[in-house]
């Protein structure tokens, strides 16, 4: 390359054009080698990739046609790209190449490759106008992206070597990346696993979410328990996102609906904001396919800034419109105890739905060109609602089709019912969203009109199904199935049900005609009155459900999902049965064809291949190839080697290396020193009463109390050493969950400093649990607790991750535990507790005062109350486990009922762990049995049974 004078603009344009012209899935990288003048400084730049390509061409190893599509960058070209970004995409001072700067430059380098693949993917999808699935979720719990991206691109070795040349280790650089604060629990992690599988399997799909500035919260553990502060994940910028300032859509709140000519409705006035797109490329594993996660951020037009108010000193008024818009995307799940909090949550949900659907429709129109046909919209678009948060997709799609595109109600309703599908994630009544009709009428007046029309359609369908002869049955169905709760029936329906066969006058005249032959006997006045009463009773207007003025008027979002969509799926076999037989039984009886099961899954790339390289190498060795990473059925090969001593020895060594890493991590994060030769017993998940972290810690207290009553020799003989690890966030306003966190940390503070107990028992709460913490803990875990009250966990995905990594589960027959136990074998799963079909009866017995608590459970409660774990008053926590009825009482989640079974099962765990040959075999069989729980399998089923889309492999 000749030495030439370049301006900053011309150099950057030349660099970008040079790379895009190449159309290479792995970017051309520039390296020092040729000189040019730039801002009075001298640089030496050389295209290493270009030279290597030329050398290969001269040697005849590549042809002109193959060009750069087959070029794989080596460590030298990777290093050049990293150095380029450290200088020309600066986020840090230029004088040092420290770890934060190294991470940012490395991520920018990887993103270049992703953008080229991303552009190629969607250019091809646009060209062939493929049917596409759109996944809408309020959460995406992504975790760190660097190692996952370079792993999927098969560039881990090149980047590791390049960074070594630049003075850093890849692992150290990767640790500089903050977890994306876009999710909290399993709902969001499932969405992220799905995106990985969609890209890996070459399915045309796209994710939509919100770009939260502060996430849920960062969790600190102090002497007072959990404390929350705002996440700072965007403080140094997000190198993976690409802001699309040219992709934005208007979103409206409040205002009023006016009727125009020919009944056309127009939503006017109110508060207007703008949703702006931020794209995050999602690469597939060993494929060019790179799909997209489009996140929406909110703002207002600059003219909304009130300059006059600002200059007058009224700064709050000046910023009011901007603040109202921007705060929509501040926090994931803002507290909804106040009206303001509820309003903000509803604004979030509508922003996601409105911006996403406007974008989906714009893409459909662009792809259709002059052949636009709304009737085939469902043949090109599938919209999946991840739980009830995106329910407003249904009225919003109808609104756009009617008010903006000019379709009739019948057309819009038919199209919507063939486009939208719903995944249910809960059987908990409080989690089935219900919104105040009053709030929704103020915030989204046009949508309430549409929801009322959908409700009327649903009511008519119910009447058509069940008739009006059995009014008690009909009213019960309407009560359970209507979208509008505690709201009068539509007038048309009331008239249909209430209209008697004959009017009272007609009935009297008819009766008089029947009695004309009995003229000799004149009826008395009393007989006349009695006869009229009988006639009135026969023709009495049937009872109609009247709203209760003392109760709120609500919109039931889950019912709207079922009525407005064409498919409803649960996320585990037992959960789907509960959905059909209990949660939505009335709907299932009317529309059985709508209901499906799609057991959740997790991506084997992130959750074993990348986070557990030691175990991955062993699996590859004993299965004969790396095919298991995309075809997890290959894991079944391990079953025939489960007794092999060589495999068992390698397996134990890998597990111990991971445990050493966990021990080091725990010391760094908590200060506690743990023995890596003890059993690592882990429960990490959102803190909630139904997940029963309380049962776990009560069992630990029982174990500790027993130890305290023994001699040193008796303890060693009776108990296998354990490190009990907890992690998870309690929602900021969930007082009882926060009490549980405080209790766990208090028990740990006592137990861990007890010299009599030593390494026999440790209790550690890991603060700020997230994906990156999970990737550290799960490979080193040996026992994992999934102990929810049976019938209350929809599925769970962490149980799948633990099993995949050779961790043995203790749990109830709940969620995916049922299927995991079937696959890994009953002897390789520690089962305890009441079953789902027993729960209602057990609660009824408790209410009737028939429950007799186990003496050991009462002993533990007394021990806690004695103050042995510090001065904090645990009366409210222990009191929730007592009594027979009442809110916050009566042990609704059956901790006391399952406690005896739980501690007896833990004795079996100790016994099994002492036999390391048996334990290792169980571990191997858990990994082998986890083959079914890959998200690849789940996505294949969604694609085939719900979305009806086919893989599209880029040419």
Task: Please list the active-site residues.
Answer: 425, 685-686, 691, 797, 801
Q: How far is residue 955's CA from residue 952's CA, in Å, rounded to a whole number?
A: 9
Is residue 152 within 8 Å of 283, Cβ to Cβ?
Answer: yes
Report, in angstroms and rounded to the nearest whole number, the Rg of the chain calculated over CA atoms: 32
Would you tell me how many other CB atoms lie within 10 Å of the CB of residue 879?
Answer: 13
> What angle is formed at CA 795 by the lines to CA 790 and CA 796, rounded to 5 degrees?
105
Would you tell me how many other CB atoms lie within 10 Å of the CB of residue 587?
Answer: 24
Which of 852, 830, 818 lies closest to 902 in space, CA to CA? 830
Would you tell me how many other CB atoms lie within 10 Å of the CB of residue 466?
Answer: 18
> What angle is formed at CA 553 by the lines to CA 550 and CA 557, rounded to 5 degrees?
145
Residue 277 β-bridge partners: 244, 296
> Counting beta carbons within 10 angstroms of the beta carbon of residue 132, is it exposed (0 to 12), middle (13 to 18) or buried (19 or more)?
buried
**Residues with Cβ within 8 Å of residue 954, at least 6 apart in sequence:** 120, 121, 124, 202, 287, 288, 289
Is residue 699 within 8 Å of 683, Cβ to Cβ?
Answer: no
Q: How far is residue 840's CA from residue 850's CA, in Å, rounded to a whole number?
A: 14
Q: How far is residue 193's CA from residue 601's CA, in Å, rounded to a whole number?
A: 8
The first and second tokens of residue 201, run together, are 């399997």
Q: How far is residue 648's CA from residue 625's CA, in Å, rounded to a whole number?
A: 19
φ/ψ region of 248 (left if φ > 0, alpha if ψ in -120 to 50, else beta) reads beta
Q: How far is residue 55's CA from residue 62's CA, in Å, rounded to a whole number?
A: 9
Which of 476, 485, 437, 477 lies closest to 461 in space, CA to CA? 477
Residue 228 β-bridge partners: 219
Helices (H) and strands (E) in the chain, counts: 38, 25
CA distances from 33 to 9, 80, 893 (A): 20, 11, 69
Which of 597, 575, 579 lies closest to 588 in space, CA to CA? 579
The pairing of strands 242-253 and 256-259 is unpaired
φ/ψ region of 624 (left if φ > 0, alpha if ψ in -120 to 50, else beta) reads left
Helix, strand, coil percentages in the chain from 3-state DSSP, rounded to 5: 55, 15, 30
The first and second tokens of residue 488, run together, are 């009068």
């Amino acid at each position: 390359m000749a030495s030439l004078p370049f301006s900053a603009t011309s150099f950057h344009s030349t660099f970008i054009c040079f790379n895009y012209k190449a159309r290479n899935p792995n970017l051309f990288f520039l390296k020092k080698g040729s000189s040019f003048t730039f801002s009075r400084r001298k640089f030496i730049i050389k295209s290493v990739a270009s030279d290597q390509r030329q050398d290969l061409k001269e040697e005849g190893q590549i042809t002109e046609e193959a060009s750069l599509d087959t070029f794989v960058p080596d460590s030298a070209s990777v290093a050049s790209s990293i150095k380029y970004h450290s200088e020309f995409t600066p986020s840090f001072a230029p004088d040092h190449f420290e770890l934060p700067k190294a991470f940012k430059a490395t991520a920018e380098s990887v993103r270049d490759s992703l953008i080229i693949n991303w552009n190629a993917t969607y250019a091809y999808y646009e060209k062939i106008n493929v049917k596409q699935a759109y996944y809408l979720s309020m959460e995406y719990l992504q975790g760190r992206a660097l190692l996952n991206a370079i792993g999927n691109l098969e560039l881990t070795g090149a980047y590791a070597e390049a960074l070594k040349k630049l003075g850093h280790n890849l692992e150290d650089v990767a640790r500089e990346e903050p977890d994306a604060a876009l999710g909290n629990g399993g709902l969001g992690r499932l969405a992220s696993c799905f995106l990985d599988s969609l890209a890996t399997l070459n399915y045309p799909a796209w994710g939509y979410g919100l770009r939260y500035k502060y996430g849920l919260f960062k969790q600190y553990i102090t002497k007072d328990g959990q404390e929350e502060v705002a996440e700072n994940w965007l403080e140094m910028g997000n190198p993976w996102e690409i802001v699309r300032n040219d992709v934005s859509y208007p979103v409206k709140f409040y205002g009023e609906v006016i009727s125009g000519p020919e009944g056309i409705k127009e939503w006017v006035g109110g508060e207007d904001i703008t949703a702006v797109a931020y794209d995050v490329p999602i690469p597939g594993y060993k494929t060019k396919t790179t799909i997209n996660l489009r996140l929406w951020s909110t703002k207002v037009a600059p003219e909304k800034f009130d300059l006059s108010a600002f200059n007058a000193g009224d700064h709050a008024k000046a910023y009011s419109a901007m603040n109202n818009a921007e705060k929509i995307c501040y926090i994931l799940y803002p507290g909804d105890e106040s009206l303001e909090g509820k309003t903000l949550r509803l604004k979030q949900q509508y922003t996601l739905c409105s911006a996403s659907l406007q974008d989906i429709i714009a893409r459909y129109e662009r792809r259709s060109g002059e052949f636009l046909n709304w009737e085939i919209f469902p043949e090109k678009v599938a919209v999946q609602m991840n739980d009830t948060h995106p329910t407003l997709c249904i009225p919003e799609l109808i609104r756009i089709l009617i008010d903006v595109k000019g379709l009739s109600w019948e057309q819009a309703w038919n199209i919507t019912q063939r486009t939208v599908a719903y995944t249910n994630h809960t059987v908990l009544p409080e989690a089935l969203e219900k919104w105040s009709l009053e709030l929704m009428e103020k915030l989204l007046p046009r949508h309430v009109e549409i929801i009322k029309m959908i409700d009327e359609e649903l009511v008519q369908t119910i009447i058509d199904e069940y008739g009006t002869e059995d009014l008690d049955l009909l009213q019960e169905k309407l009560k359970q199935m209507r979208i509008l709760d505690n709201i009068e029936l539509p007038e048309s329906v009331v008239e249909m049900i209430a209209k008697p066969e004959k009017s009272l006058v007609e009935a009297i005249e008819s009766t008089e005609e029947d009695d004309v032959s009995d003229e000799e006997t004149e009826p008395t006045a009393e007989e006349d009155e009695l006869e009229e009463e009988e006639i009135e009773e026969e023709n009495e207007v049937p009872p109609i459900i009247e709203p209760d003025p003392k109760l709120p008027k609500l919109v039931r979002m889950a019912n709207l999902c079922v009525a407005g969509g064409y498919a409803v799926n649960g996320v585990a076999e037992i959960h789907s049965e509960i959905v059909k037989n209990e949660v939505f039984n009335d709907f299932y009886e009317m529309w059985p064809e709508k209901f499906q099961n799609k057991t959740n899954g997790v991506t084997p790339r992130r959750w074993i291949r990348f986070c557990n390289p030691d175990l991955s190498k062993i699996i590859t060795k004993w299965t004969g190839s790396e095919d298991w990473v995309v075809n997890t059925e290959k894991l079944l090969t391990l079953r025939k080697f489960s007794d092999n001593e060589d495999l068992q020895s390698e397996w134990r060594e890998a597990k111990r290396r991971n445990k050493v890493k966990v021990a080091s991590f725990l010391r760094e994060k908590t200060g506690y020193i743990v023995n890596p030769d003890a059993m690592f017993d882990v429960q990490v998940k959102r803190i909630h009463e139904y997940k029963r972290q309380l049962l776990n810690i009560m069992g630990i207290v029982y174990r500790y109390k027993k130890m305290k009553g023994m001699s040193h020799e008796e303890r060693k003989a009776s108990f296998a050493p354990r490190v009990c690890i907890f992690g998870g966030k309690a929602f900021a306003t969930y007082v009882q969950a926060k009490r549980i966190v405080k209790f766990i940390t208090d028990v740990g503070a006592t137990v861990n400093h007890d010299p009599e107990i030593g390494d026999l028992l440790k209790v550690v709460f890991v603060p700020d649990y997230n994906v990156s913490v999970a990737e550290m803990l799960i490979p080193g875990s040996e026992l994992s607790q999934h102990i929810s009250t049976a019938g209350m966990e929809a599925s769970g995905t962490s149980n799948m991750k633990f099993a995949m990594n050779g961790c043995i589960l203790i749990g109830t027959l709940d969620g995916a535990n049922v299927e995991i136990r079937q696959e890994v074998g009953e002897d390789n799963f520690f089962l305890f507790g009441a079953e789902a079909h027993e729960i209602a009866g057990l609660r009824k017995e408790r209410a009737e005062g028939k429950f007799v608590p186990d003496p050991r459970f009462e002993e533990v409660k007394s021990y806690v109350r004695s103050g042995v774990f510090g001065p904090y008053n645990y009366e409210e926590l222990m009191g929730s486990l007592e009594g027979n009825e009442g809110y916050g009482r009566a042990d609704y989640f059956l901790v006391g009922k399952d406690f005896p079974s739980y501690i007896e099962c833990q004795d079996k765990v100790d016994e099994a762990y002492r036999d390391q040959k048996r334990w290792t075999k169980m571990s191997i069989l858990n990994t082998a049995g986890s083959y079914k729980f890959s998200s690849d399998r789940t996505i294949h089923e969604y694609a085939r049974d719900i979305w009806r889309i086919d893989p599209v492999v880029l040419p």
